[in-house]
């Protein structure tokens, strides 16, 4: 078997309520995937899922870090924030459920479609959240 | 339909991308909720919206939209126009309202993105939207309580990328519980820290050291 090249890793800080830089992480991940030649349909799924987790951190959390680990076989995205956590993950996963305040809705967020979108795009999804401590969303998408 | 035709039908102003009006658009999508765009846009769409912020540009970029049309006379500011120009994304603006804009384009033959929603299958690698229908109208279901999160896996569907069973550990989603963070679910491949890229906000990123498909990137292996 051919030896795999070493994984590419990106670590991107995400600041709460920074709507100017918010989305740059996903854009950067997308750009790297294009540079190394992943198929467009896969890039699209990764880009959408990454953008949704990143903007969730910008909107709903006190900030955190986005990490991407890219190998030819699997793309892993880990979004880890420092709070406030999700009290009921089942509820948050439902389409249409959103706690986004009005001024955020006016910016085009708050459809309550982010987490359901992520689930639709990815092969693996794990959400861990402890109220008061933060949320970690881990996503895996296979190249096959 | 070409962007040029869209411009003519909507009597639209071109904010940027005047050199790209010959590009083909496959379908139209009108929304002010960007997550809906991310969820349901298929193909090279013309995105019609009344929002003029960076969220729109990012969303357009993530779904590879061909053009963004601002409706009801909304004007993007210069920063947004410059950003779109940098991305090679044409921006148009019309004074028509959303419904009228979409209606005129549809009448002229530009289809929407409902086809696959109705046909209940995805051809774009994303999972079919069928789980949406099964769930009914958002909000008409009572909260699932502490049950495991439904991973949306649907069996026996073509073109369906399924969530691996056990992708979500039911225990780990029961909120409030402390789960050791080093517990790696099965199916994950671990990778070393070689080839590490680090980024603070304005730091330049090095080019990736390897290629999956050199032909696709137009570079030698
Ligand atoms: N990182 C997070 N920290 C805290 N709460 C979160 C986080 N991510 C999501 N949530 C909660 O889960 C809810 C649903 O998230 P989801 O992404 O599906 O919708 P949304 O962000 O509200 O709207 P949309 O994504 O459609 O713009 C959010 O409204 C919020 O209450
Ligand atoms: Mg969201």
Separation in Å, CA of A36 to nearest CA in chain B: 4
| pLDDT confidence band for B3 (50 / 70 / 90) | very high
Closest CB from A7, A45, A113 relative to B126? A45
d(CA A63, CA A114): 17
Q: Ligand 1: residues within 6 Å at CB?
A: A 52, 56-57, 59-61, 81, 84, 86, 92, 97-100, 109-115, 135; B 35
Using alpha carbons, list the distances in angstroms from residue B120 to A123, B154, B160.
19, 12, 11
pTM over 0.80: no
Residue predicted with more confidence, B83 or B201: B83
Using alpha carbons, list the distances in angstroms from residue A24 to A45, B42, B90.
16, 23, 20
Residue predicted with more confidence, B126 or B80: B80
Interface confidence (ipTM) of the complex? 0.92
Sign of CA pseudo-dihedral B176, B179, B180, B182: negative
pLDDT of residue B129: 43
Helix, coil or strand: residue B82: helix
d(CA A47, CA A50): 5
CA end-to-end span of chain B, whole Å? Answer: 37
Sign of CA pseudo-dihedral B38, B40, B45, B47: negative
d(CA B145, CA A6): 42
Which of A135-144, B88-97, B124-133, B175-184 is least confident? B175-184
Q: Are A60 and A44 in contact (CB under 8 A)?
A: no
Separation in Å, CA of A38 to nearest CA in chain B: 6
d(CA A97, CA A86): 12
Q: Is the pLDDT of residue B150 over 60?
A: no
Whose tokens are 């933060």? That residue is A134
Kindly give the interhelix angle for A40-60 and A24-35, rounded to the nearest 10 degrees: 160
d(CA B167, CA B46): 35
CB-based contacts of B184, cutoff 8 Å, min separation 6: B190
pLDDT of residue B204: 56
Distance A92 CA to ligand 1 centre (A): 7
Residues of chain A with pLDDT under 50: none
- Give me the mean pLDDT over the B20-31 stretch: 97
pLDDT > 70 fraction of chain B, expressed in percent and rounded: 58
d(CA B181, CA B172): 10
pLDDT of residue B126: 54
Please indicate if any CB of chain B lies within 8 Å of the CB of A99. Answer: no
DSSP H/E element including A109: none
> From its phi and psi, is residue B64 left (phi > 0), alpha (psi between -120 and 50) or beta?
left
pLDDT of residue B81: 97
- Give me the mean pLDDT over the B129-148 stretch: 39
Both tokens of A96, joined, read 């249409």
pLDDT of residue B145: 38
Q: Are A61 and A135 in contact (CB under 8 A)?
A: yes
Using alpha carbons, list the distances in angstroms from residue A5 to A30, A42, A70, A100, B22.
19, 19, 10, 41, 40
Partners of A8 on chain B (C-beta within 8 Å) are 195, 197, 208-210
3-state helix, strand, coil in chain B (%, to 5): 30, 10, 60
Separation in Å, CA of A55 to nearest CA in chain B: 9
Q: Which residue of B has its CA nearest to A143?
A: B212
| pLDDT confidence band for B53 (50 / 70 / 90) | very high
Distance A73 CA to ligand 1 centre (A): 29
Partners of A69 on chain B (C-beta within 8 Å) are 191
Q: Is the pLDDT of residue B178 over 50?
A: no
Q: Is the pLDDT of residue B143 over 60?
A: no
Distance B149 CA to ligand 2 centre (A): 17
């Amino acid at each position: 078997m051919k030896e795999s090249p070493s994984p590419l890793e990106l670590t991107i800080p995400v600041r709460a309520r920074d709507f100017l830089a918010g989305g740059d992480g996903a854009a950067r991940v997308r750009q790297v995937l294009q540079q190394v030649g992943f198929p467009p349909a896969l890039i699209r799924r990764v880009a959408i899922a990454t953008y949704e987790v990143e903007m969730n951190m910008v909107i709903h959390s006190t900030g955190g870090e986005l990490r991407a680990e890219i190998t030819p076989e699997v793309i892993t995205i880990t979004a880890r924030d420092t709070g406030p956590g999700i009290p009921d993950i089942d509820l948050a996963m439902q389409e249409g459920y959103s706690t986004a305040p009005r001024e955020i809705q006016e910016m085009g967020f708050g459809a309550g479609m982010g987490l359901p979108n992520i689930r639709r795009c990815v092969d693996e999804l794990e959400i861990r959240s402890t109220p008061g401590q933060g949320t970690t969303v881990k996503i895996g998408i296979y190249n096959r | 339909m070409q962007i040029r035709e869209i411009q003519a039908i909507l009597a639209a102003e071109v904010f940027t991308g005047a050199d790209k009006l010959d590009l083909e658009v496959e379908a139209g999508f009108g929304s002010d909720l960007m997550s809906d765009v991310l969820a349901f846009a298929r193909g090279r769409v013309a995105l019609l919206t009344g929002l003029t912020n960076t969220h729109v540009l990012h969303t357009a970029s993530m779904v590879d939209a061909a053009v963004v049309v601002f409706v009801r006379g909304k004007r993007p500011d210069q920063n947004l126009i410059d950003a779109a120009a940098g991305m090679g994304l044409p921006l148009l603006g019309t004074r028509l309202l959303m419904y009228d804009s979409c209606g005129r384009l549809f009448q002229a033959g530009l289809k929407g993105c409902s086809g696959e929603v109705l046909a209940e299958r995805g051809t774009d690698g994303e999972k079919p939207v069928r789980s949406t229908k099964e769930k009914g109208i958002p909000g008409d279901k009572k909260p699932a309580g502490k049950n495991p999160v439904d991973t949306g896996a649907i069996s026996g569907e073509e073109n369906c990328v399924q969530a691996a069973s056990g992708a979500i550990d039911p225990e780990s989603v029961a909120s409030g519980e402390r789960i050791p963070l080093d517990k790696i679910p099965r199916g994950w491949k671990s990778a070393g820290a070689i080839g590490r890229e680090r980024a603070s906000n304005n730091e330049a990123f090095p080019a990736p050291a390897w290629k999956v498909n050199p032909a696709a990137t137009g570079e030698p292996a």
